[in-house]
Structure 1
């Protein structure tokens, strides 16, 4: 019940359009009832050969209800789908707004395929919440009240007969369907999610699956999930068929019951025989409103299961909370770290343990160390993907936590090892850094990153698509695009996180030249386990297990003969003197 109420509250801002669509749905069915009733009355009346003028009201009624039904049906479809798409848009925006603050800290335990399934399939399931769960019972209730009053005018027994079969069709059959399909909707949502997740993993890992000859095993897993999903769909199809048969039976029983009750009234002179067909066919056409009801509980179960999966994500508290209010203006762009300590979980060791250093504005600081030393954790803390537990980080003499996340990240450019390029054009990927940049700005940034000539050689230049994750480009070209993007952003602080990792030595040297141009005039923090080009750094910090074990310039650290010297020798395959 709690999930249902939360879902209602979520879509409540669009109640006006949903109410309008519901009223139009009622008017559509009511016009159908009116059309059948007046048509039956017209035919029955015409059989008595009265003057044509006596039939004019019925003739006008048939025309009116025939035209109004078409108009109301069109308007009902229009406003119902308009309301549905508005609700769907609201749910998507709501989910993304709740999801964004959770990245990356709170979403590490979720597989990407599972998140895609929740964003696409679960949100898509809620698309039908109004059309298939909320609207049909409301329309049916309004139709029941209207037709009950109409029949009661001619005979209360007729109205009560309609009420019995209407409730049997609208309540008893759906409850029976619910009992037969209990849990099936939830299983379908979960199985569909598992299948989508498996398919995403299969597509993303296609190369590894083929390389290790695991295609058969992966295919069996997909086949098993597909079979389970098809079995659930088959079960629901069978239940739908049974419910349709029951509904048809009850509708026909309702028609015959009203007919059998009305005939004695005609014989007793309490009812004019000309109304007999009108009452029976009018009551029969009113059951159009209950046709969607048998599957309401099934759709409700699916919707609630999908909503619970979405709420399970959105209810997670963000690790980092954005403070309201204006951000301070940094007095400078120096970075100061004092007594910094951080760990990812209370039962885990410190990833960063008591760091102290100062990076003056415009200087270059490199942080090196073996894998797991805490280097990338610093990038996460500087960008406030996580918040540190002890100590402080300040930018321009203001604590990082005093800045809003948007303002803080406006001051910082980042180039990482795994540059993400969207399946879009070169131009669109570059404009992520500065959407309003002009053509000359774009080209100048590409020239400084030494990639302009390559872009010009592409079939469509800057309008060439780079493929998903930029697979049409080499590793070096992707990194140069990342550098061009950072140049275009022109932020005062630059973070480089393993920006040349994975590149061959020649490409690495070429990219490093572009990186050094990018560093000019910027406060630069270089995170790397590669020691190429560090002789240009103003200071180097060597981390081990989250602590600074050595610090100094490149030559000084080599002369000390410590961890930095060992890393240098391993990288360059030198023999110690």
Structure 2
């Protein structure tokens, strides 16, 4: 029920539009009833050959109801879909607002395909909530009351027959369909999410699937899931056909019962014969309001399942929360870890254990170690993606927890191993760091990153598209673009997390030269397991299994013949000792 309450709460600001849509829907069905009753009355009167002037009002009524039905239907669809799309936009905004604080900690184990399914498919399902769950029962009730009162003017038993038919069609048939469906709506949502996840994973890993000959196996897996989904959809289609047939049968039965009762009343002289067809056809056409009701439980189940999946993330507690107190102003751009310990979850091994270091303002520090030693965990804590368990992180004389997350991230420029390049132009990718940057600032950042000449060689220059993930760029060009982006941000703190990983030695040296220029005047932390250029660092920390095992300058650590020396021998072509 929480999910339904949440959806209704989102709809409350639009209650005037909802009321208007409901009125228009009722008027549309009323016009259909009016068209059928006026037509039946006109034919019955015309059979008696009255003067043509006696039929003029009825003729005008037929024309009016025929036109008004189309007009009311148009405006009903316009208003109801307007409400629906406004609510969907609110859902998307709420979903993103709930999702953004969770990244990346709470989304750590969530598959990208499943997340995409929630953002697209589960949100789209909510369009049924107003159109197919809320409005149809309310419109049917208004039609029953309106036409039931009209029938009561002739004989109360007509209203009783209509009410019985409405109750059977509006309550009995949905109960039957719900019993037969047995959770089909929830399974439909689950299977759609599973299929989207499998397709997304297949597209992302298509190269590996082809290389290892597993494309057919993955395709078979997708086909099995698709067949399960198609089976559920066929089942829903059969239930929809059954509900329409049963509703149509009750509509015909109600019409015939009213017709038989009307014949009896005509024979008794209590009802005019010209009204007989009008009353019967009016009752039959009023069942138009009931045809959508049979699948209301199915749509409601789908809505609840999809809304539960959305609320699971929207209501999730982020791993890091900001304090309500006023943010302090850092005294200086220094960073310090004091006996910091951290792990990614209860029962997980420690990623960092009692780590301590200090980077003075405009100073630099390198953290090196083998893969899995805890280097990237330091970056995650500094950016407040995760919260440390023990110790203290100090930034400018205050605890890191005293600052809002955005305040910290605005002051830090990050170049990572896998910098994401958006499927947009070079200009748009650069402006991500500073949307207000002027053209000359853009060019200056690209020049400092040695990227400007390459950009000018492209047909459209800075307006050239780089493709999905920047696939039109080489590895070195992507890293230079990342460096230019950091330069444009002009943050006082710089973090380089495996910034040259995956580059060839020549490109690596060129990029590192640009990095050293970027470090000037900034508090810098370099995370790497490649040791070229370490002689330029003020201090080096060696991590192993989350612990600091060695620290010092490059030459000092080489003389220790410990972990650092082993890393040096394994990752760098060892120069002669006198050159070290």
TM over 0.5: yes
For residues 142 and 7 of structure 2, the distance between their equivalents in structure 1, rounded to whole angstroms, comes to: 23
> What corresponds to 2:159 in structure 1?
159
> What corresponds to 2:284 in structure 1?
284
> What corresponds to 1:141 in structure 2?
141
For residues 456 and 289 of structure 2, the distance between their equivalents in structure 1, rounded to whole angstroms, comes to: 63
For residues 214 and 259 of structure 1, the distance between their equivalents in structure 2, rounded to whole angstroms, comes to: 67
Matches within 5 A, 1:54-203: 54-203=54-203
Alpha-carbon offset, residue 258 of structure 1: 0.9
Matches within 5 A, 1:489-568: 489-568=489-568
For residues 410 and 509 of structure 2, the distance between their equivalents in structure 1, rounded to whole angstroms, comes to: 29
For residues 499 and 254 of structure 1, the distance between their equivalents in structure 2, rounded to whole angstroms, comes to: 76
> Which ranges in structure 2 are unaligned for 5 or more consecutive residues?
none
Moved more, 46-55 or 122-131: 46-55
> What corresponds to 2:414 in structure 1?
414
For residues 327 and 57 of structure 1, the distance between their equivalents in structure 2, rounded to whole angstroms, comes to: 76
For residues 522 and 3 of structure 1, the distance between their equivalents in structure 2, rounded to whole angstroms, comes to: 48
> What corresponds to 2:341 in structure 1?
341
> What corresponds to 2:229 in structure 1?
229
Matches within 5 A, 1:316-395: 316-324=316-324, 326-395=326-395
Q: How many equivalent pairs are there?
A: 577
Q: TM-score, normalised by structure 2?
A: 0.96
For residues 547 and 88 of structure 2, the distance between their equivalents in structure 1, rounded to whole angstroms, comes to: 49
For residues 460 and 2 of structure 1, the distance between their equivalents in structure 2, rounded to whole angstroms, comes to: 52
> What corresponds to 2:450 in structure 1?
450
For residues 12 and 508 of structure 1, the distance between their equivalents in structure 2, rounded to whole angstroms, comes to: 58
> Which ranges in structure 1 are unaligned for 5 or more consecutive residues?
none
Give 3-state SS (helix, strand or coil) of 2:240's partner. Answer: helix
Moved more, 164-173 or 487-496: 164-173
User: Does structure 2 conserve the Cα–Cα contact (< 8 Å) formed by 1:569 and 1:575?
Assistant: no
For residues 15 and 529 of structure 1, the distance between their equivalents in structure 2, rounded to whole angstroms, comes to: 60
Alpha-carbon offset, residue 575 of structure 1: 8.9
Alpha-carbon offset, residue 324 of structure 1: 3.4
For residues 455 and 575 of structure 1, the distance between their equivalents in structure 2, rounded to whole angstroms, comes to: 37
Alpha-carbon offset, residue 2 of structure 1: 4.0
Superposed CA deviations along residues 240-267 of structure 1, whole A, max 9, x for unmatched, are 2222222221111111111111111122
Alpha-carbon offset, residue 103 of structure 1: 0.9
> What corresponds to 1:273 in structure 2?
273
Superposed CA deviations along residues 120-159 of structure 1, whole A, max 9, x for unmatched, are 1111111211111111111111111111111111111111
Over 6 Å off, 4+ runs? none
Alpha-carbon offset, residue 286 of structure 1: 1.0
> What corresponds to 2:295 in structure 1?
295
Moved more, 407-416 or 9-18: 9-18
Superposed CA deviations along residues 1-38 of structure 1, whole A, max 9, x for unmatched, are 44333332343333332222112111111122122222
CA change 1:184–1:106 in 2 (3 A) is same
For residues 102 and 11 of structure 1, the distance between their equivalents in structure 2, rounded to whole angstroms, comes to: 26
For residues 209 and 459 of structure 2, the distance between their equivalents in structure 1, rounded to whole angstroms, comes to: 32
For residues 462 and 56 of structure 1, the distance between their equivalents in structure 2, rounded to whole angstroms, comes to: 72
Alpha-carbon offset, residue 486 of structure 1: 0.5
User: Does structure 2 conserve the Cα–Cα contact (< 8 Å) formed by 1:326 and 1:404?
Assistant: no
Give 3-state SS (helix, strand or coil) of 1:239's partner. Answer: helix
Give 3-state SS (helix, strand or coil) of 2:106's partner. Answer: helix
> What corresponds to 1:478 in structure 2?
478
Find out whether 1:26 has 2:26 as its counterpart: yes
Alpha-carbon offset, residue 46 of structure 1: 3.0
For residues 405 and 572 of structure 1, the distance between their equivalents in structure 2, rounded to whole angstroms, comes to: 37
For residues 73 and 313 of structure 1, the distance between their equivalents in structure 2, rounded to whole angstroms, comes to: 37
For residues 312 and 326 of structure 1, the distance between their equivalents in structure 2, rounded to whole angstroms, comes to: 31
Give 3-state SS (helix, strand or coil) of 1:107's partner. Answer: coil
User: Does structure 2 conserve the Cα–Cα contact (< 8 Å) formed by 1:421 and 1:470?
Assistant: yes
For residues 58 and 405 of structure 2, the distance between their equivalents in structure 1, rounded to whole angstroms, comes to: 69
> What corresponds to 2:312 in structure 1?
312
Give 3-state SS (helix, strand or coil) of 1:322's partner. Answer: coil
Give 3-state SS (helix, strand or coil) of 1:365's partner. Answer: strand
